Each structure stands twice: as C-alpha cells, then as structure tokens.
Structure 1
C-alpha cells in the first residue's frame, strides 16, 4: 500500500465535504445534531484548501490532513479518512509519520477529539496519546516525544 499526500485545491471541495460527512457526521450529530443545509454552509464558510493535504492511497483520494507547526508542538488540526480506508493501517501510517516528524524536533503531537468519537479516542490512545484537558464537548490529547 502506497500512501502519500497532495495539496488540496478548490476543485476538492465536493470530495472533502462528502468525506467530512462520511467520517464525522455520527460524532457531530451526537454532539450538536445535524442540519444538512447549515452543515454545508458552515463548511463552505470555513473552506480554505491552502492548509489541507489530500491523503492518497494507491492513487485514490482517501482522506484529508491538516497540520500546524507551533513553537511547542505539532498540532494535528484534522485527519479524516473515508470509511473504506479506515481499519486498513492508513491512519496508523500517517499518524506514525507525524509522530516521528515531531519527535525529530523534540516536540509533542497535540490534537482535539470530540467526546462522542470514541473510536478516534481509542485510536489515539493506542498510539500513546493521553487526555490532557477536558474541554466541554471535546478532549485535548497529547503524545510526548
């Protein structure tokens, strides 16, 4: 399996919105409810392809990744995979690569996860992340180098 990323473009909007719905709707719905017109409008308002990297698996668009290097951590702002690519080692490969890049700089990896997304919390915990803050509807998690 070959995994790499490419820069997102404006042409990726529909793919990325469909990905967001497929990957996040259950957790968002459990947290705030889901109103499709509002969700699509909110996504469009926040849409900016610049920070997004499309995760590709064997030549197929499979997910999205957004990172932010901060002075004291690598912040994993977003990682979403289409359900067909979940449970196949794609997320693990991407996350392990990020952990290694941050560790090479002596930095932890930090992220936020919705409390309703128990599968994601378990995934991050398996990779050494611990909850460091309870922030109402989400947890802040961190993995030290």
Structure 2
C-alpha cells in the first residue's frame, strides 16, 4: 500500500508549488483564460501561504499540495493538487474520504469549488458523494460542491 502523508509547507516550497500548479492545472487554466506565466506567478505569490498549505507526500516524496480551511459551519477544501505522475492512483480519494469522515464527526459539510472544465475532478467528487450546489464566477466557470445532500423541495400541489 502506498504511504500517503502530509507535511507543513515551508517558504522553500514556493517554487515547487508553482510548478505543481502549472503541471496539475495548467491545461485547465489555459482552456479558460490562456496561460500567462507572469500573471500566474503573481497569482501564486499572492496565494501561496506556507502556514496554511500542506505538502502531500507519497512514499516520502513530494506529490502534491493541500489547502483546507476549517470554517465555523464547514470544512472547505480550498485546493488539492496532485502532480500528474500521481493522479489516478487513489491518493486524492483517500485524502477526500478522510476529510469527509472528519466533517461528519464534526457535524459539518465538506465543500469545495472545482473548475467546470475539470471534468475528471468533478466526476471524482461526484463519486465521492459530493453534490453540485451552484455554479458561479465569470461565465459560471466554477462549480460549488458539498457533501450536504441536495435539498428536496416538496412538490407544490394544486
């Protein structure tokens, strides 16, 4: 069995996380906005938060990153990125199942946003039991998903 671990990110992980983002998300970003290296570096510099990010390790080697926000009523999966060499091996599923169990124990929902063009991730989240809540962002490019079952509104009777 593959050993999956998490370690705190450090300032030294900045370039690794940028290159990871480019490898894991570059095609999706290019599809929506086009890849602008300078703009993406600026975005990364603003977003990179070593005190809040974790590095995903697989058998001791860096394989991805994870950013989780523990909010008052939910656990928000702000970002999970795995290097393409590690995708499709059940690593993301194992981490998400752990978050789902934690959310249930705490009486909370697990929520996240996924780019609509990232159909592979969207399908994974659906298989994991998350449901689409809404679409948002410019041209509805993001899908908000939650572990909370969709609300069943009663059918109006005439």
TM range (shorter): over 0.9
Any idea what SS the aligned residue of 1:4 has?
strand
Alignment partner, residue 90 of structure 2: 89
> Which digits, 9 at most, give the CA deviation of each residue in 1:60-115, with x for residues without a partner?
00110001111111100000000111011101111111111111111110000011
My pick for the range that moved more, 26-35 or 6-15, is 26-35
Which protein, 1 or 2, shows the higher relative CO under an 8 Å CA cutoff with sep ≥ 6? 1
Alignment partner, residue 27 of structure 1: 28
Deviation at 1:42, TM superposition (A): 1.9
Q: Is residue 2:122 matched to residue 1:126?
A: no
Instruction: List structure 1 segments (4+ residues) > 4 angstroms apart after TM superposition.
Output: none
Unaligned runs of 5+ in 1: none
Alignment partner, residue 106 of structure 1: 107
Alignment partner, residue 45 of structure 1: 46
Q: Is residue 2:70 matched to residue 1:69?
A: yes
* 1:144 aligns with one of 142, 148, 154: 148
Deviation at 1:37, TM superposition (A): 1.7
Distance in 1, Cα, partners of 2:23 & 2:102 = 28
Across the aligned residues of Structure 1 and Structure 2, the Cα RMSD in angstroms comes to 1.1
Deviation at 1:34, TM superposition (A): 1.0
How many equivalent residue pairs?
A: 145
TM-score by length of 1: 0.96
Unaligned runs of 5+ in 2: 150-158
My pick for the range that moved more, 2-11 or 36-45, is 36-45
